[in-house]
Structure 1
């Protein structure tokens, strides 16, 4: 199938660190691309004759505070959240924020082109790596600044576990009884396992999981075969951590998503778009839980679409997940603010008929149901395109159906299976998935990118489109650079200590990649250390170690606002003009 950017020329200039992901994805969507690398300045991506996208290191923060990946992670709180499980701030060894910002730039380009096709005079857009950072930590930020404390306090600790024969592994279940049964099968006291469940369950929220040492001891006294038997008996899902070398030898597709045309759409709605809201007039139906699909729809809403959540009878149970602002979960608001909702029992024939009625007038339907659910309920793309031939049907999954026998498709299991745990940590540190939800966020971003590509393709061809994105695709995007190095015979991991901040008398300081070791800073305050380093010619910034203080941080105070519930809201990551 031809891509939505066929016959379109794109030229990129500026630092490849800022433009590389955007150029690659635009090329995968069919654009003819030309690159003109430069060492300084913003990244500029120009769609010939139509619009220009600027990718900056900093849009909110002063340029001296955010000037590369390392300082962006440190300033926005990514370094803090990733480091929680280890007890100290640590930067991700992979270029996570330039990757997410590159995807945001592609979203902006696609949205701008859709807006232009519908009459909006979109000529330019701008996005920034610092705004990508704020978006990436938005759930953690909302929780930290809520009216009440987390349900469980974050503290160092968490998976993976190691067996007696040296296998490092992740275990996953969404059921407390299964969790207890798994550890009981390994000889752990039932009461101990039960007491640990809440920390394990909330690791998605707190980015840490301080489990009792005895659980790790039970794993270390058991071989991999016996662990597998315990998982089989209890119903828990297991995944041994893979290495980048393992992953290199597995087939991978070129693109992190797949687009496929369905049926002719006929006449499409010609609603008037707005420059700042290029998706104004579009309706998105979202049947999503947790992070991935809700974030996909949230981004489409920020671009102007009307988003309607399909929730089960009684509403989404995550609405009440602590901590709350008013009577709503702060974390839930971070992903679902501004959406309307309708409660539908899709398990009933009447509920499915109600959903089909909504689909008939929608532009997009996005979900992240478990594999096989849509087909079993008669709500797959073929079923819904019969109701609305012009529908963009989007499935955001864990594994995209590409790995037979794969474990549960959750963030940390996908990290374990795809060697993300090795790519995000420098040499000298054992491979371990980050307890920051890296893939849920990047997967949601890729889902929105795929939907926008589908909408533009529909705009050009007049046909409905199915788009598939996944956490597996997100992992492949994030590990692409490391795997490329490995294929060239190079060390795929960054050197020991890479992006480790330096302690000061009252906090931490991060220096930009490539700056020399500043030596001990513990005799200075953070402000003094930053100033000293800058006078020496090093680029440095204070590490955010308290998300609750970020709204008053002079670097971001101007862009962080509170909604009608009192919850912190991060700004849209694009500016259109």
Structure 2
């Protein structure tokens, strides 16, 4: 049985908001009816609609619009959503000016969240904790969620640990090979650059901005490091990496990535042994869909913590497993009342317990916790769970009904020359760096953590699919999601364009904001050409006047947010942003239950 077997789903609305999830719904077993509007770019205006009906499950409907928080005029498509929420600003930090992502990132995330809402609603119905369910989300809500760490940091009372300034990888070798570098500790970083003959002062000065690039979306590295790379052959760069413990990966074109698995960005595998009914069904009706379920999360960085955060927003009790002394990222600047604003964006509301999983006693303690949990979720390095006796088979022996979830980098796929499974390395290897930029920009992975965040969303969706399958089939389930799956979902439109004989990359200037007298504005994709042609007569106007002038001519446009610290005062979105008990900024939940 698959999670959505014998479930009928009707899909309609703009293709940008529906198409990313159609393959996933089919892979989960749904009987899919996608109306012509659901697969056509010329769909009529209005929200996307996913309506699921299953025998003994009832009906659940998810609505997805471009604007759910923003005013309708400021969020008409992918370009305007990226502009108004600050996504263009964060992606453009490396280049020193706002830049639109050439992939439909906000729409893809919103589509994934719609499927999560369907799965959660059906699960709630199956568990008897909710009645008829309707829920809404939006591309603007999805965008704010993906930016939550950057927004929290920008609105904290402390300054960033490193200055935000243009610059960053990839590097380029003497033969013209663009490459990403990964070093998680200062030792491998220093040994790599010393092997290439870089100046010691530049090596020391470059480590901190390189280390924090995941947090700041930029890395103003000393020019001597780039010069050192340009003086070395690709063969020498690879030798330096091999001898130092660092890793390098050439920035691959889309054509250099093997064909993706069809349909699914995750795997859902039920166990053979049936399990007895759970006491979880005693949860009172009318609660959130995951009320009464306990999620054990042993995650670090972004991917697994974000997945668990989303499960918590759906009602689960999340217990976070941290090493002795606590998660070191709790103190990562900038802080709000001595707690990292970025850490709070992913972990607020979770309980925490410190366990030394490297010790036999700690491993036994975690197995005891797993015996009473619904989900165990981690993103450890490959082989670590097996080494500590905390793999799916071992935990199934103490809890046959457990949903065991692994959020990985490469999903055990044997890709040639696959590097370490971190965000920027996976972007480089899978062609995301090419798909995310138009043809007049050199391919380069975005320093906004595209895959960590989308991978976290996919991880939450995989857990929800596993929980629904467990509820329907009465068996424990192992699920796996990956950064690779996120990359393949994000690049699918470009791959399809290439398969149809069209250019995979977007044309020159695609989603490039237009400068005004006091800032930037972004026209919608449909209005970009006519707006650019009209703009020489408008560029000396203040942004609000230029936007009004374009709208008066029938063109959709909005101001580009270039200061995340000013977003709480922005009338377009500020009312949706709140503060937690630490004073840290909180973005709205990605779902509204109607």
Do these two structures clear the TM 0.5 threshold for a shared fold by scoring above it? yes
Equivalence map 1:230-309=2 (5 Å)? 230-247=240-257, 249-250=258-259, 252-262=261-271, 263-268=273-278, 269-272=280-283, 275=286, 277-309=288-320
Q: Map of 1:414-453 to 2, 5 A cutoff?
A: 414-453=426-465
2:14 is aligned to: 15
Match of 1:408 among 410, 413, 420: 420
Corresponding position of 1:538: 555
Q: Could you tell me which residue of structure 2 aligns to residue 157 of structure 1?
A: 167
1: distance between equivalents of 2:33 and 2:481? 26
* Residues 1:274 and 1:472: Cα distance change in structure 2 (over 3 Å): farther
| Stretch deviating more after TM superposition (383-392 or 184-193) | 184-193
Aligned to 1:324: 335
Aligned-partner Cα distance in 2 for 1:9–1:541 = 38
Work out whether residues 291 and 440 of structure 1, in 8 Å CA contact, stay in contact via their aligned partners in 2.
yes
Please say if residues 80 and 558 of structure 2, whose CA atoms lie closer than 8 Å, have aligned partners that are also in contact: yes
CA distance in 1, matches of 2:225, 2:65: 46
Structure 2 residue 173 is the aligned partner of structure 1 residue 174: no
Aligned-partner Cα distance in 2 for 1:251–1:445: 19
Residue aligned with 1:467, SS: strand
Does the C-alpha gap of structure 1 residues 178 and 522 become closer, same or farther in structure 2, counting only changes over 3 Å? Answer: same
What corresponds to 1:485 in structure 2? 497
Q: Classify the secondary structure of the residue corresponding to 1:558.
A: helix
Deviations 1:456-512 (A, max 9, x none): 000000100000000011000000110111112110011100000011111110010
Q: d(CA) in 2 for partners of 1:264 and 1:481?
A: 40
**Of 62, 83, 104, the match for 1:53:** 62
In the alignment of these two chains, the number of paired residues is 575
Task: Tell me what 1:381 maps to.
Answer: 392
Cα 1:459–1:234 shift into 2, 3 Å = same
Given the alignment, which residue of 107, 118, 122 partners 1:98? 107
- What secondary structure sits across from 2:73 in the alignment? coil
1-side partners of 2:195 and 2:551: how far apart? 56
Give, in whole Å, the separation in 1 of the partners of 2:154 and 2:449: 16
For the Cα contact (< 8 Å) 1:115–1:273, is it kept in 2? no
Query: Which moved further from structure 2: 362-371 or 515-524?
Result: 515-524
Contact preservation (8 Å) 1:394, 1:468: yes
Q: Is the 8 A contact 1:122 1:576 kept in 2?
A: no
Q: 2:591 aligns with which of 567, 574, 577?
A: 574
1:553 maps to: 570
Question: What is the CA distance between 1:251 and its match in structure 2?
Answer: 5.0
The secondary structure found in structure 2 opposite 1:270 is: helix
Equivalent residue, structure 2, for 1:4: 3
**TM value normalised by structure 2:** 0.95
Greater shift, 381-390 or 510-519, is seen at 510-519
TM-score under structure 1 length normalisation: 0.98
CA deviation profile, 1:1-46 (whole Å, cap 9, x unmatched)? x311011111111211111123332222110111120321111111
What does 1:388-399 correspond to in 2, within 5 Å?
A: 388-399=399-410
Say if 1:146 and 1:325, in contact at 8 Å, map to a contact too.
yes
Tell me what 1:340 maps to: 351
What is the root-mean-square deviation in Å for CA atoms of aligned residues? 1.1
> Which residue of the partner structure matches residue 31 of structure 2?
32
Whether the aligned pair in 1 keeps the contact of 2:260 and 2:488 (CA below 8 Å) is no
Residues 39-48 or 356-365, more deviating: 39-48
Of residues 513-522 and 288-297 in structure 1, the stretch that sits farther from structure 2 once superposed is 513-522
The yes-or-no answer on 1:512 pairing with 2:524 is: yes
Q: Any unmatched runs of 5+ in structure 2? A: 38-42
For residue 139 of structure 1, the aligned residue among 149, 158, 161 is 149
2:374 matched residue in structure 1: 363
From 336, 347, 360, the counterpart of 1:349: 360
User: 1:42 aligned to 2:51?
Assistant: no
Shifted more, 256-265 versus 430-439: the winner is: 256-265
Distance 2:80 2:313 in 1: 26
SS in 1 for 2:99: coil
Contact 1:276 1:576 in 2 (8 A): no
Aligned-residue offset at 1:205: 0.5
Query: How far, CA to CA, are the matches of 2:351 and 2:491 in structure 1?
Result: 36
Q: Quote the residue 2:581 is aligned against.
A: 564
- Name which of 504, 508, 516 aligns with 1:496: 508
Kept after mapping to 2: 8 A contact 1:147/1:326: no
Are 1:219 and 2:219 an aligned pair? Answer: no
